[in-house]
Amino acid sequence: MKVLQSFKHTAFVALLFIHVISPAQSHYPGQQVGMFAIGDKLKPAVYSFDLHDVKLLDSRFKQNMEREQQWLMSIHVNQLLHSFRTNAGVYAGSEGGYFTVKKLGGWESLDCELRGHSTGHILSGLALLYASTGDEKYKMKADSLVAGLADVQKALNQDGYLSAFPQELINRNLRGERVWAPWYTLHKIYSGLIDQYLYSNNKQALDVVSKMASWAYKKLQPVTPEQRTKMLRNEFGGINESFYNLYAITANVEYKWLAEFFYHNETLDPLKEGKDILNPKHANTFIPKLLGLTREYEIEGKGDGHVMSDFFWQTVMDHHSFATGSNSDKEHFFKPDELSKHLTGYTGESCNVYNMLKLSRHLFTHTANVKYADYYEKALYNQILGQQDPATGMISYFLPMLPGAHKVYSTPDSSFWCCVGSGFENQAKYGEAIYYHNQEGLFVNLFIPSELNWKDKGVKVKQETSFPEDGATKLTIETNKTLQTTLNIRYPSWARSGVSVKVNGKNFPVKGTPGSYISINRKWGNGDRVEITYAMALRTIETNDNPNKVAITYGPIVLAGAMGTEGMADPAPYSNPKLYNDYYTYNYNVPENITKGLSIDVKNLEATIKPVAGEKLTFKTVKEGVVLKPLYDTHRERYVVYWDIK
């Protein structure tokens, strides 16, 4: 029996012989039945639906996804493979010569140490789009990309190593030398290939990523504990999550060893003791480590992974998050409860929200606690939905809280920041968290126009809504036979002014309270409908260190004060295409006359903030005449989110 050093404890533990278990379901939100050799031992409170079971109907969400589709499909496979082929010394041939490849810039330029990360994200994005739409064009493009990567892997001939940069960057990391996150970049490729297997059934992708993992096992086996301590201080993304997923898919214990190798004691152990050690940690280095921890907890069905992850999640919510659900300043957590001191142009990194949403989905399946769904809605609408420029489909890195700042967008081929990469995934998977289910019934967590095909029950559910323009949604049942089950509809914590529910036109008595579920148990037949109307109201959210500095919301929607375009000279609102690191140095040129304070009565907002007639979700302050509208719909202009109350 082979012996392995445990990186979570000082003792040694024995590995079991490799064995294959009958295919089982996993917490991984992919097309998963029969694709995992090891099923999760944790019995969840609720299960996700596969993306292909949820179809988006027309809405801003679907429109965002369509814009992302256009951008993603416009990037040629040869462009995405160019840096990989350059690293391997091979080229894409064509009849009569070679392809002319327009090189990608920004973080994908050949002098950037993170080059190749976008290819991994795009593999995931294509897999998610294929699952969400069923359109074969996304699978065809991804198949070509995977085949090209397989060719590069073969040409490199380095025990399965595959990357757009040479192994010397890995060696520098192992020596504890300065290098920009090589394992972070590899994680994106691992994750993209795993997604291609799980969502698109691409077996070549599984072969390529398995070889990559076998290389990593050989590479890291000789590493000493001292070396490991140094190398794990470098950002490595959620590579531990990828190795746990690969272990569950293949039952190869070498991959479990790798996942445990990337357990970062220095960061995670204090969470066991309930310590908030987030300041001044790099937020997007920290959050993905919890994703690996939750996957271990799900696979093993025991341990303290959920408790640690929930403590982290709650700490971020209570002490480190803005009203939008975003966090961090210049990508770093700051001292707890000091939000008002960090209203800068570099708050709210989009990647952080991407990973917090992933973590929230895992924690929700463990418990079905509505607090995770409430957060998901808040962050989805106020950050992710508004991350994309509706005019071009470009993506913002930060969500600035600096009064008078504006969103800064990427460029089509000269940025490729981390948030552009995670953005390719964000805009492709809007259907993932609308519905959940268990043996007792269905859960409706989000109010997004969509159709659910609940195949196991032979039921379809159509959701029609204009939310958040109003607080109403309608659910219609389609079935060939009656079904006794419970329909659980989220009663959001923001709906403090009440709710009305009708079943087939008749009033249904609501016994729950905001921050719970409205449960309707009955025999459902074809054509049955449920109409829910939440009373939406204005309210303020104080910064937790200054009660006189507040954000204004309507329901869950953060409202921004529209401040015009004064001083926004070219290339604003876009990043400078000649620079790939101006996100930290960007000068917003905020005019001195920007309104930063409001004369409003926080106890009677309706008296000092009035709706604008004929305009949805648009308000105006009575005294200053400031127009307030959803932050997610505020683009190409300056805005204010947090106000000084006069």
pLDDT tens, 197-251?
A: 999 999 999 999 999 999 999 999 999 999 999 999 999 999 999 999 999 999 9
pLDDT surpassing 70 at residue 22? no
- Max intra-chain CA distance, the chain: 77
In this prediction, residue 96 has a pLDDT band, given cuts at 50, 70 and 90, of very low
**Cα–Cα distance, 155 to 137 (Å, whole number):** 27
User: At residue 598, does pLDDT exceed 70?
Assistant: yes
Strands 557-562 and 627-630: antiparallel
20, pLDDT greater than 50:
no
Cβ(309)–Cβ(293) below 8 Å: yes
Residue 21 scores a pLDDT above 50: no
Q: What is the pLDDT of residue 100?
A: 75
**What is the per-residue pLDDT for 583?**
72
Distance CA 406, CA 565 (A): 9
Share of the chain above pLDDT 70, in %: 93
In three state form, how does the secondary structure of 490-522 look?
EECCCCCCCEEEEECCEECCCCCCCCEEEEEEE
CA distances from 376 to 227, 364, 370 (A): 38, 10, 10
Position 372 pLDDT exceeds 90: yes
Q: What is the CATH number of domain 435-467+471-534?
A: 2.60.40.1180
> What residues does each domain of the chain span?
435-467+471-534, 538-645
**Nearest-angstrom CA–CA distance, 112 and 89:** 18
Rounded Cα distance, 21 and 299, in Å: 13
What per-residue confidence (pLDDT) applies to 63?
A: 97
pLDDT at position 27 = 57
Residue 582, pLDDT score: 72
Q: CA angle 503-509-513, nearest 5°?
A: 115
CB contact set of 336 (below 8 Å; sequence gap of 6+):
276, 278, 279, 315, 319, 320
If you average pLDDT over residues 404-413, what whole number do you get?
A: 95
**Segment 19-47 mean pLDDT:** 69
Q: Where does the pLDDT of residue 29 fall: very low under 50, low under 70, confident under 90, or very high at 90 and above?
A: low
Smallest CA-to-CA distance from 476 within 532, 429, 421 is with: 532
Average pLDDT over residues 584-611: 94
| Distance separating alpha carbons of residues 532 and 475, to the nearest angstrom | 8
Average predicted confidence (pLDDT) for the chain: 92
Q: Confidence band (pLDDT; 50, 70, 90) for 101?
A: confident
pTM, 2 dp? 0.94
Strands 597-598 and 642-645: parallel
Least confident of 56-70, 95-109, 221-235, 464-478: 95-109
pLDDT(150) > 70:
yes
